[in-house]
Amino acid sequence: MTAWMPPRNKVGTNESIIIDALGRMPDIQLGSDDDGWQLCRWRQFVGTYTLPALPDPVFTVHIAGKPQVKTWDRDGWSELSSMPGCATIVPSGQETGWLVNGELDVVTLSVSSHILKVAPVADQFRRLRFAFTDPLGVALTRQVLAELYAPPSPARDIYVGAMVNALKAHMLRGPISASGDDIPTAAFSAYRLHHVMNAVQQRPQASHSLEEMAAQAGITPSHFCRVFRKAAGMSPHQYVMKTRLDRARQMLTQSDMGLATIAEFLGFTNQSHFTRAFRQYAGETPSDFRKRGREMMQ
């Protein structure tokens, strides 16, 4: 197994084309030439974009942000919108258009086309597949991101490489179609879920109890837990906590607010509770995270 390393943006690669289209660099970028993949995290871009045909297929996971993301469909924007927890596959050789009406957080995984020549090619690489449910793909992507924010070490790098290779294998095989009534497939069900998730994103400091979120979705708490976990890859409580800690990371790097103030603002019981939760999530204390972030910017 080859450990990953930060790649160079060669002219004509998926990443260089996306950078030109968005007008910005990715927040995170890593890749393995030996294993034939490139992974990037892109955040905070708004507007309409035309993405030229890419040389390699891309598996995209909508991590967080606004749910009003649409793609160009023949002669207008798609009726279907992507929401956090959705996945999209962009095939190689196809120009695409995108409408982003709010803050967006996505992860892209490019797989070298030469791999598809020696592996069985499923139908998902022959056409655009937009905003479909893929709990395993989303869960693997979130796990990769969690490890990337842990303290760096050779063992972590090898583990991240192994996790991305697992995500690549999942992409090559194609997601297994879900069954049962617990997974939201209708537009109304998806809307109810992303309405709840958007409310958490907008006010992570609120209590967001299970009963409150289930009431917003119009279903029982037990049914809401099953639906939410299968759609988002985590429990409602985990999603609320993750949203709070993601916002804490932003506040630690973009402000000089004290830890006690951040803890109180985000709804933690006290600073000790905030520190324990942050360390469990990020692998280091809030103080160490802030210090490391500032050292990297120097």
Q: What pLDDT shows up at residue 69? A: 86
User: By three-state DSSP, how is residue 30 classified?
Assistant: strand
DSSP single-letter state for residue 101 = -
Query: Phi and psi (nearest 5°) for 231?
Result: -85, -40
Has residue 181 got a pLDDT over 60?
no
Q: What pLDDT shows up at residue 296? A: 66
* Closest C-alpha among 192, 64, 62 to residue 137: 62
Cβ burial 33-64 (10 Å sphere, 16+ → b, else e): eebbbbbbbbbebeeebebeebebbbbbbbbb
Choose the weakest-confidence range: 158-162, 199-203, 229-233.
229-233
Confidence category of residue 3, pLDDT binned at 50, 70, 90: very low
Q: What pLDDT shows up at residue 13? A: 92
Q: Do 263 and 276 contact (CB within 8 A), yes or no?
A: no
CA 232 to chain centre: 10
Burial class for 79, CB neighbours closer than 10 Å (0-12, 13-18, 19+): exposed
Has residue 11 got a pLDDT over 80?
no
Sign of the dihedral defined by the CA atoms of residues 90, 44, 66, 252, in that order:
positive
Structure confidence by residue, pLDDT tens digits, 204-232: 888 898 888 888 777 788 888 888 888 77
Average pLDDT, the chain: 82
Query: Phi and psi (nearest 5°) for 184?
Result: -75, 120
Q: What pLDDT shows up at residue 162? A: 93
User: By three-state DSSP, how is residue 81 classified?
Assistant: coil
Q: What pLDDT shows up at residue 182? A: 41
What's the pTM value of the predicted model, to 2 decimals? 0.59
How many Cβ atoms from other residues are within 10 Å of residue 29's Cβ?
Answer: 18
Tell me the domains of the chain and their CATH numbers: 14-173 (2.60.120.280), 187-297 (1.10.10.60)
- Identity (one letter) of the amino acid at 17? I
Q: What pLDDT shows up at residue 190? A: 61
Q: What is the mean pLDDT of residues 220-245?
A: 87
Q: Do 122 and 173 contact (CB within 8 A), yes or no?
A: yes
Q: Do 108 and 54 contact (CB within 8 A), yes or no?
A: no
Q: What is the mean pLDDT of residues 26-55?
A: 89
Q: Give the span between the Cα atoms of 241 and 281, in whole angstroms.
A: 9
